[in-house]
Chain A
Amino acid sequence: MNVSRKEVEYVASLARLDLAPEEKEKIFQQFNVILDYINRLKELNLAGVEPTTHVLQLKNVFRKDRSQEKGGELLAEVLKEAPDKAGRLFKVPPVIEEEG
């Protein structure tokens, strides 16, 4: 056993996921099957090996943090996709709650 049910629950909460009981059980089972397989990586002696984060030897690409858009047309199109909005703002539930 690589992970416990409790650990799976904790990971779900870190990932901001609520799992139904049967979903939780299935993912718990699959986690362990996958980790068993993946653990074969531990056979490798990788001391002193440089990690590869990226296959191309590229430098960072920078640009000015400025809108490339001229008019306000795109803004309207972007906001059209918002689940809820107020004027030019995205509307969300309260972030800071009153202490009760």
Chain B
Amino acid sequence: MNYYYKMSVAEAARALQNKEITSKELTESVLERIEEVEEDIRGFVTLLDGDEVLLEAEKIDQARVSEEPLPHLAGIPMALKDNLCTRGVPTTCASKMLQSYCPPYDACVVEKLKESRTILMGKANMDEFAMGSSTENSAFFTTRNPWDTTRVPGGSSGGSAALVAAGEVFFALGSDTGGSVRQPASFCGVVGLKPTYGLVSRFGLIAFASSLDQIGPLTRDVRDCAMVMEIIAGHDPRDSTSAPKEKEKYTEYLGRDIKGFKVALPRDCFTEGLDAEVKKVVMGAVGKCTALGIEVEDVSMPHMQYAFPAYYIVSTSEAFSNLARYDGVQYGYRADGAGNFVSLYKKTRSGGFGQEVKKRIMLGTYFLSSGYYDAYYLQSLKARTQIREELQKVFRDYDFIVTPTSPTVAFQVGEKGDDPLTMSLSDIYTIIANLAGVPAISIPCGFVGGMPVGLQVMGRPFEEGRIFQFCYALECLLGVRNQLPETGVKRGGTVV
């Protein structure tokens, strides 16, 4: 068995271009790794046929041998969160509602990755309709954290994060509505970016909360993240919220001097609820920033505490509207035995949605219903304005806002039980970036008890390049990039 699967995207791309390895060898390495660990990790909802995947790899190898021009990442295996539409490949949203749904089209990001000749290995598990923080809400099964298979990988893009961390793919895409890329990245010790709202087209992303959702990469280091963003960013007329921006050469920012950057540290994020050990690791990383010639200052962001309530109202209200389309008429699940139209709706929706999804649809219904609209929905939109303005004010004086990504390391499967708040509070630091539409990244910054800790860096809108510049320097300094766990050796108990 070879260890090609341990390479970063950049290393693999270079080795392919120098003809040191072939895409077939790279893909075989990943397939062997999947064979070895997937039974314990369970990151894939759909795993594509190995022979077909290898055939695609061979085609790319032939093209390379005959000196055909190939895109930079051609021949590199990856995975997609299962809420990204893939033509002819099931796209389930980890829901019974879409269990057998095969989209007749590709999402914009899928088109771009296909044009780049990257190799799709399969579709990654998630919380149903992206509602959750652990993949425990998947209608099919829970994905396990590669660092400790008794723990969750985070969510909702937990499958994507676990597959990247376990060496089953070189990179993956997820979606982030309140932290769904960054929190699992943090839990699994990988890099995860939520780009600026509007930077990546959401055409073909199955919608959860449209004013918050963004697609973002999960990778093993900062350079890989920049490389994937160079593929997926850019304007798309099919997404009416797509920003009319040219995409940048993000990798050109890497290695540039970062002296003189100013970092804000919101003291409101370092109070109750933050695990003391996590705090120590994050503060240790922040302390090293000064060694890079960066000014770090405490700031106060008193509206931070209202981010979660505002998020909960906005996201459930938008979900209520977005999920109205699942009615058993055009595609997806339809319940048997409905005698009339209303009964078709009720039976289909009651049988097709899991409990968390039902609860959130109902909360959205409640917040938007007559008599409560002003008290909840309108109030949350106004609070959103204040949260945004508070952030904008900080960004007038500082280049970045740094926080922990999540208040704890990955928790045990089943630990959070049914308490609707404790689970959601693991997104408490990430939500604000979605409400304000700013870019935010999670990078690994150390470990607590063998489990990875993530550091979140938020930046000004469309300043992803500077985020990469800063985080690349930080990553070099911290020395925690592309670290894979010794999966297969089980720690802390047996797999349930």
Contacts and interface: CB of A to CB of B under 8 A. Distances in A.
Q: Do A and B bind each other?
A: yes
Interface of A: 3, 8, 11-12, 14-19, 23, 26-27, 30-31, 33-34, 37-42, 44, 46, 49-56, 58, 60-61, 63, 74, 77-78, 80-84, 90, 92-95, 97
Given A46-B382, A82-B331, A40 B341 contact: no
Contacts, number: 164
**For chain B, which range describes its interface: under 10, 10 to 19, 20 to 34, or 35 or more residues?**
35 or more
Nearest to B333: A83
Contact of A27 (B305, B331, B339, B355): B355
Given A52-B388, A92-B341, A16 B197 contact: no
Interface stretch (B138-146, B361-369, B467-475): B361-369
Given A18-B346, A41-B379, A81-B102, 17 more contacts: A17-B350, A17-B361, A27-B358, A33-B421, A42-B379, A49-B382, A50-B382, A53-B211, A55-B437, A61-B237, A78-B104, A80-B102, A81-B332, A82-B331, A83-B332, A90-B330, A97-B340
A45 to B, nearest CB: 10
Given A23-B358, A93-B344, A33 B420 contact: yes
Contacts of B420: 30, 33-34
A46 B340 contact: no
A5 B301 CA distance: 38
- Select the residue from A16, A46, A54 with max chain B CB neighbours within 10 A: A16
A63 to B, nearest CB: 8
B203 to A, nearest CB: 12
Contacts of A54: 211, 241
B384 A41 contact: no
A27 B359 contact: yes
A2 to B, nearest CB: 10
13 contacts: A11-B369, A15-B358, A17-B346, A17-B349, A18-B347, A34-B363, A38-B312, A38-B313, A40-B306, A41-B380, A49-B386, A56-B241, A93-B339
